[in-house]
């Protein structure tokens, strides 16, 4: 295939296979100074993988490296990309280490729009804490959606932990307050507060989240220790808008990404990290309680660039 085919039909397969198919077949072309068409082909592959605007600084740096002759083989280019992508995703901390106020009570707050799997992630984090020997109490502060409290109560029963629920349409902040009170009285280690799923465009509901956060902080100084935003990776660039809006309403400590079963659109994770200065902490990899994977930037970059 020559470079003229770079504008042809989309190529299936892993990202690296698509990059090679639409951008180059001979790395000698890359180091000869004829990089324009090659970079254009790579741009197409990255945009198709949902990198969004994050593709352009990556491509600019790659073009410079190619012009300098630093990358002379396929393996050089792939290793360079993997290293740059992983570097942009790292935060410096340990994503899997949960912030706990020991020996006191810790409170974790979970946010997200409807349908992202937020309640399931609450249960997974509870499972993780229980495996570490912590006692857990769940709080069903989603008092708007029919059946939301029942869903969390089912998880609580499966986990063998208590669950504090409010009446339908009750004040979510009041439910969170009651849960913290109950946990203090019982000597519980961690309260996990499940909030109502809401569109990031609903200002009144975003303000309500801020109220829940304030009430928890007033009742328990230093809390909430963790504020997780759960995002559905299949929503693509809309995930960035959600992240920005939630971060404006409540200070976030980490992101949990769900439904990232493949890497065809995995570039959105790179775009998300470039746009939102909040660490990616976990990947929800399935529906089972153990399907919560601490985010590993190097492993993710290797998966993204696999054939």
Report the candidate in 124, 158, 134, 155 with the shortest Cα–Cα distance to residue 290.
124
DSSP tag of 294: E
Ranges in the chain annotated CATH 3.40.50.300: 106-304
Ranges in the chain annotated CATH 1.20.120: 3-89
CATH superfamily name and code, 106-304: P-loop containing nucleotide triphosphate hydrolases (3.40.50.300)
Report the candidate in 232, 288, 287, 279 with the shortest Cα–Cα distance to residue 260.
232
CA distances from 20 to 41, 218, 222, 306 (A): 9, 55, 50, 12
- Tens of pLDDT along 5-62? 333 333 345 788 888 777 765 555 555 656 777 788 888 889 888 898 899 999 999 8
Helix (H) or strand (E) holding 45: helix 36-48
Distance CA 259, CA 197 (A): 17
Angle between helices 55-67 and 36-48 (to 10 degrees): 150
What is the DSSP secondary-structure string of 179-236? HHHHHHHHT-SEEEEEEPP--TT-HHHHHHHHHHHHHHHHHSTT--SEEEEEEEGGGT
pLDDT tens sequence for the chain (307 residues): 222 333 333 334 578 888 877 776 555 555 565 677 778 888 888 988 889 889 999 999 988 888 887 787 778 888 999 999 999 999 888 999 999 998 899 999 999 998 899 999 999 999 999 999 999 999 999 887 767 789 999 999 999 999 999 888 889 999 999 999 999 999 999 999 999 876 655 677 788 899 999 999 999 999 999 999 999 988 887 888 889 989 999 999 999 999 876 555 788 899 899 889 899 999 998 889 999 999 999 999 998 888 6
Report the candidate in 19, 3, 6 with the shortest Cα–Cα distance to residue 306.
19
- Tens of pLDDT along 150-176? 999 999 999 999 999 988 888 999 999
Which architecture does CATH list for 3-89?
Answer: Up-down Bundle (1.20)
């Amino acid at each position: 295939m020559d470079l003229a085919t770079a504008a042809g039909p989309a190529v299936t397969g892993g990202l690296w296979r698509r990059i090679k198919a639409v951008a180059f077949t001979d790395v000698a072309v890359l180091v000869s100074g004829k990089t324009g068409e090659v970079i254009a082909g790579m741009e197409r592959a990255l945009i198709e993988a949902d990198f969004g605007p994050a593709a352009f600084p990556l491509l600019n740096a790659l073009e410079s490296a190619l012009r300098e002759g630093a990358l002379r083989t396929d393996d050089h280019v792939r290793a360079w990309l993997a290293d740059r992508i992983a570097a942009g995703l790292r935060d410096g901390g340990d994503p899997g280490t949960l912030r706990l106020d020991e020996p006191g009570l810790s409170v974790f707050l979970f946010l997200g729009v409807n349908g992202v799997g937020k309640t399931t992630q609450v249960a997974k984090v509870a499972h993780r804490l229980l495996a570490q020997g912590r006692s857990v109490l769940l709080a069903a502060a989603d008092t708007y959606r029919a059946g939301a409290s029942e869903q969390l109560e089912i998880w609580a029963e499966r986990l063998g932990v208590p669950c504090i629920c409010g009446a339908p349409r009750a004040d979510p902040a009041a439910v969170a307050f009651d849960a913290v009170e109950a946990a203090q009285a019982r000597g519980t280690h961690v309260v996990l507060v499940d909030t109502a799923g809401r569109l990031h465009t609903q200002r009144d509901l975003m303000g309500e989240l801020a109220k829940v956060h304030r009430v928890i902080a007033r009742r328990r100084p230093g809390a909430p220790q963790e504020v997780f935003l759960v995002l559905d990776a299949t929503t693509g660039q809309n995930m960035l808008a959600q992240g920005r809006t939630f971060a404006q309403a409540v200070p976030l400590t980490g992101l949990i990404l769900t439904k990232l079963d493949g890497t065809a659109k995995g570039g959105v994770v790179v775009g998300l990290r470039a746009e939102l200065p909040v660490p990616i902490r976990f990947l929800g990899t399935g529906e089972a309680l153990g399907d919560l994977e601490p985010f590993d930037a190097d492993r993710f970059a290797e998966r993204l660039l696999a054939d």
